[in-house]
Structure 1
């Protein structure tokens, strides 16, 4: 197996820039991952350059991805979108394709599930969204679609969360709804 120096040289300049951005964010926000070491994360990223593509998509759409933990079973590092507000490049969208197609007029350009899939990431679950909110204050002015259980979605609904009145709320809306201040936050395991 090649050493990390040769892996680093094999990365494109854009990937190297992204690694620098991620490292700076990691160091600035130590409370999100107090027991993790950046060099271990960087090595794992260098071994999985396809994950850098997804992280770049998260970054380019305003997500400010950062490490929020490590899966104890697989060892995968977990990245969440940690921008203060739901990512700007992912707003004004329905929950999923079915919701989008059910609109007779004023259809948005995309849906949260389709965008996440095209980026190679997952929407945060309600549990993940609540965990994110323990790491800071997010969505004070915006809201984020969260992964919706099948039984709720089958009835036409979808879930979203935000923080208001110093409390984290997760509520429901029709999956076809969309608002200028609602987008989605994603997660990626590396």
Structure 2
């Protein structure tokens, strides 16, 4: 593993970015590595942009990932994933993005059109090494809640070949922190999403 291994979770308030950071950090510690976490917030209310920076290694690093240095972008929301990638993605970045949009108020009011998902994917592919666009909506409907999207996306992340964390530690962190069988089911579904 190249140090630090840098993960960004991009979404909007209320999607569970901070919980993602806690789960990945807990799993990192269980594996004997050091997590450093930093969060940046757009609007300070539900629905505003939230980016969680997670840096993994054997020693301390600054909490915020430098421009172009993200290894992974977990996009809980497509536009926020692209916005984050434009700043932090580099030639080695892998983006795993939920295709389930959370339109901002200027879109829901009809003032602006939400970008086409194909255009978002194309833009991500132009700046990332690899892009996985996941159709998460059917799985969330099957599970009965969008609240478990973060656990699903962590499951997808755990399925990457060069991922530095053992999935057993991620599973255990979900059980320890969330105590939710539904989240564990979402994680397990996510592990199959990149196949």
> TM (normalized to structure 1)?
0.29
| Larger Cα-atom Rg | 1
